[in-house]
Amino acid sequence: MREIVLDTETTGLEAHGGDRVVEIGCVEMVNRILTGNVFHVYINPERPMPAEAFAVHGLSTEFLSDKRKFIEVADEFIEFIQDDTLVIHNAAFDIGFLNAELERAGRPVIARDRVVDTLALARRKHPGGGNRLDDLMNRYGIDSSRRVKHGALLDAELLAEVYGELLGGRQASLIGLVEEVAEAPRLLVATASAARIRPVPLPSRLGAAEAEAHAAFVAGLGDKAIWLSYAGADPVARDKAAG
């Protein structure tokens, strides 16, 4: 199962009010494990950077002036994310901006039903608590010392760790060994049925003295002992207990 954890940086808050995407960071996960495959690009927004946005991510007008425009990176971005699930924190914000850029570039937009919003997951798991990315990193003990300013690639990497914790931490990585959570029971059944059956059972390691002692113990339990209904009960023990 391939998932893409994604984050963006922008010039502001209004996707259809003149603000633009200036950075995209994506990290690939397969079966909930980071593969090291990433997509990262800075983008020329074709407009000045407001001071408020610069204070958040530190990307200046000058720094972005020689970077490619979104229409020049659109196909690379689409090729990387393919049709796989996108994992995003506060997804409505990022998807709103990305779809606005894709529309301007004449490319297909991203369907909302392929997006996992970790903010929604966090609110269900921690109702009433702080659920910003910083809050979740603190809650789960994830090192955020590198996060001096917002950065799309770094935030995507940190979000991948948070996502794993939201799904159950280490247990999630074990479940991820099968393509879908629902496949786990079938995997266990298939493994059990594939085990070889010993053609000749091994002889019992219990001697006569142990068998007699066990029979005497069962006989003292009375005729309503649960042991008597056990499928593998010793027939000698059953007879002694009954008679």
Which residues belong to the active site? 150
Give 172: exposed, middle or buried? Use CB within 10 Å, 0-12, 13-18, 19+: middle
Token digits of residue 166: 């939201």
Distance (Å) of CA 181 to CA 156, 172, 187? 23, 9, 10
One-character DSSP codes across 2-42? EEEEEEEEESSS-TTTT--EEEEEEEEEETTEEEEEEEEEE
Buried b (16+ CB within 10 A) or exposed e, 17-56: eebbbbbbbbbbbebbeeeeebbebbbbbeeebeeebbee
Q: What are residue 7's DSSP bridge partners?
A: 25
Helix/strand/coil for 88: strand
Q: How far apart are CA 166 and CA 133, in angstroms?
A: 12
Phi, psi of 9 (to 5 degrees): -120, 150
Q: How many CB atoms lie within 10 A of CB 140?
A: 13
Closest CA to 44 of 66, 59, 24: 66
